[in-house]
Structure 1
C-alpha cells in the first residue's frame, strides 16, 4: 500500500506543474475572448483593467502575507519605485495597448501576439545588449534568430492579411447588428495589430525588468500584489483619456461584472500564481512551450461560445507564429543543455575542501 501511495504521489508531483500551466493558459485564452465581448459592448477598456488588477491585488494580498511574512525583506523607497515601474510597464501600459488592440481585432489575433513573447523578449535583449551578438553565429543562436524571424513573419501576416471568413457561424441577427455597429473597428484592423504588438512588447520589457527585480526582491506574491496595486491606480488615470465621466465606473451589466470578476480572480490572480509555481518547478523555457494553448483556447472559445467568425489570415498567421515560437524554444533548450554540460558536477575532493574552508571561516556559507 505504501508503494502504491508513493507511486501516486510521484505521478502527481510529475504532472501537477504541467497541468497547472495548461489550465493557466486555457483560462487566459478564455479571458481574452470574454473581454473582447465586453469591449464590443462599449465598456471603457481601462476601467476593466483597473477593476481586474484591483481584484487581483485583493486576492493576492492574504497569500503574500501568510506565505511570505517570514521571508519578506523590508520595503524601501527604491523598491516601491521599482514596483511602480513594474506596474507601469507590466500591468497598466500592457492593459492599455493590448485591450485597445483586442477591441479592434479578435481574441485569436491578440493571443497570437502574446504567443510571440519569448521571441520579442529575445529581440529586445539583443537591442538592449543583454544578449551577446557574438553567440548568434552558433547553432543555438541561429535557431533563436530563425524562430524570431518566423514569429515576425507570422505577425506581419496577421496584420496585413485578414483573408476571407472560413465560417458563417456569426450569421444570426444579433451578430449582424453587432458587426454593423462595429464596422469602423473592423476597418482599423491594422491599427489594432499595432496596438497588440506594442502591448506584447511592453510585457516583454516587463519580463526583462522583472528578472532584475526578482533578484532584489524575491517574494513573488508580494511583488505581484504591489504591481497590481500600482497598476490599478495607473489604469484609473489612463481611463481619463477616453471619457471623464463617473458613469464609466458604474457597471450594471451582469455579463460585464462576471467578466471583470472572472478576469481578476481566475485570469489574473490564480493564473499568475499557477504560472509562477509551474515556472519554479519546470523552468521558464519548458513552461513557455505551453503558451500556444492560450491561442487555441481563445480561438475555440471565441468561435464556439461567442460565435465569432474565423478568418483565413488569422489561422495561417497563428500557425506561423506558433511554428516560430517552437523553433526559438528549440534553440533556447539546446543552449541551456549546452550550458549545463559545460558546468561539471563538483567532485568529492572539492566538496571536502569546500567544507574545510567553510569550517575555517567560522562556518560561514553563501546560500544560492
Structure 2
C-alpha cells in the first residue's frame, strides 16, 4: 500500500508541473486574443492592463492574507524589493511593450517573439549561475544548438512571409486591417522589436522570481507583491496617457470580459503558479512552455479572428519550437547524467 501511494505521489509530482504550465500558457493565449478584440473595439490597451493587475492584486492580497498571514513577519525589504522588480519586469515593462506590439503586428507574430523567452532565460540563468553548460557533453551541445535554432526560427517568422496558407475560419470576430503584411514594413518590424524586448523583460522576471521564491516560498504573497506593484505602475502610466474617464468605463461587453479573464486567470492564477513552478523546477522549465502559446494563438487567430496564416509563420514557428525542445532534451540529459554520477558516488562510499 505504501509503495502504491509512493508511486501515485511520484506520478502526480511528475505530471503536475507540465499540466499547470499548460494551463498558464492557455490563459496567456486567451488573453492575447481578447486583447486584440478589445483593441478593435476601441479599448485603450494600457487601461486594460491597469484594470487587469488591479483586479489580480486585490484577489491575491485576500488569498495571501487568508493563507499566509502568519508568515508575513518574515518579509524583509530585500524580498519586497525583489517583488518590486518582478512587477516592473514581468508586469509593467513586459505588458506595455507587448501590448504596444499588438498595434503594429498580428497576435501570431507578437506571440512568436515570446518563443525567445526560453533562450533569453537560458542565457540569464547561466550569467546568474542558476544554469550550467558542459560544452563538451551531449546535453550541453543540445542546449546551445537548440538556443540557436529558436532564435533563427523567430527571425525567420518575423522577416519571411512566403505564400498564404488557406484555412477555414469560424469568423467569430472579423478584425479590420489586421493583416500585418498590408501595413508598412517598418510597422511590422517595430511591432516585432517591441515584442522582442518584452520577451527579455519576461525572462528577467523569471530569474528574479526564482531568487525571491528561494528566500520566501509563499507564492500567494509573492504573486500579490508582483501584481500590486504592476497595478500601481501601469495605473499611473494609463492615467498619464488617457485622462478621459469615459474611456475607463466598463460595460457588459468584450472590454469587461477581457479585464475579468486576464485579471483572474492570466495574472492572478498564472503568477501564483509561475511562482510555485520556478521554485519546484527552475526558470528555464517555466520558459520552455512559451511556444505552446504560439500554437494556441495561431490557431485562435486564424480560425476565430480571421487572421491570415503564411508559410513563413509556420516554418519559423516549427523551427523555434524544435529548438526549444532540443534545449529541454539537453537539460534532461544533463540532469540524468548528474544523477547517475551522484548515484555512482554514493555506491563508492
TM-score (norm 2): 0.84
Task: Kindly tell me the number of residue pairs found equivalent between the two proteins.
Answer: 347
Structure 1 unaligned segments of length 5 or more: list them.
Answer: 351-368
Counterpart residue number, 2:100: 100
Cα distance in 1 between the residues matched to 2:100 and 2:110:
10
| Bigger mean CA offset, 23-32 vs 134-143 | 134-143
CA distance in 2, matches of 1:11, 1:80: 35
Aligned ranges 1:4-43 → 2 under 5 Å: 15-43=15-43
> Which is greater in Rg?
1
Deviations 1:256-275 (A, max 9, x none): 11111111112221233345
Find the aligned partners of 2:28 and 2:250 in 1 and give their Cα distance.
Answer: 23
Change (3 A) 1:142 1:241: farther
Shift of 1:278: 5.5
CA distance in 2, matches of 1:228, 1:287: 18
Question: 1:61-120: per-residue Cα shift (whole Å, max 9, x none)?
Answer: 222122222334433334333322221111100001111113322222233222332211
Distance of 1:55 and 1:302 partners within structure 2: 26
Deviation, structure 1 residue 177: 4.5
Determine the C-alpha separation between the residues in 2 that align with 1:159 and 1:305: 22
Change (3 A) 1:163 1:201: same
Counterpart CA distance in 2 for 1:13 and 1:215 is 19
Flag structure 2 segments of 5+ consecutive residues without an equivalent.
none
Shift of 1:232: 0.8
Q: Secondary structure at the match of 1:104?
A: coil
CA pair 214-283 structure 1, distance change in 2 beyond 3 A: closer
Alignment of 1:214-225 (within 5 A): 214-225=213-224
Shift of 1:340: 2.5
Kindly indicate whether the alpha-carbon contact (under 8 Å) linking 1:113 and 1:197 is maintained by their aligned counterparts in 2: yes
Q: In structure 2, do the counterparts of structure 1 residues 177 and 206 end up closer, same or farther at CA, with 3 Å as the change threshold?
A: closer
Structure 1 residue 206 displacement after superposition: 1.2
**Aligned residue in 2 for 1:339:** 338
- Answer yes or no: is the 8 Å Cα contact 2:210–2:283 preserved in 1: no
Question: For the residues of structure 1 that align with 2:257 and 2:118, how far apart are their CA atoms?
Answer: 31
C-alpha RMSD of the superposition: 3.6
In structure 1, what is the Cα distance between the partners aligned to 2:298 and 2:311? 12
Q: 2:277 aligned with 1:263, yes or no?
A: no
Shifted more, 72-81 versus 222-231: the winner is 72-81
Distance 1:250 1:257 in 2: 9
1:97-136 alignment, distance < 5 Å: 97-126=97-126, 128=127, 130=129, 135-136=134-135
CA contact (8 A) 1:167 1:310 kept: yes
Over 3 Å counting, the alpha-carbon distance change for 1:240 and 1:155 in structure 2 is: farther
Structure 1 range deviating more: 189-198 or 312-321: 312-321
Shift of 1:327: 1.0
Q: What's the TM-score, normalizing by structure 1? A: 0.80
Contact 2:29-2:293 at 8 Å conserved across structures: yes
Mark the CA change 1:287 to 1:121 in structure 2 (over 3 Å): closer, same or farther: closer
Give deviations 1:260-305, integer Å, cap 9, x for gaps.
1111112221233345556666666666554433222111222222
Contact 1:285 1:333 in 2 (8 A): no
Larger displacement relative to structure 2 (12-21 or 110-119):
12-21
Contact 1:170 1:309 in 2 (8 A): no
Judge conservation of contact 2:32–2:107 (CA < 8 Å) in 1: yes
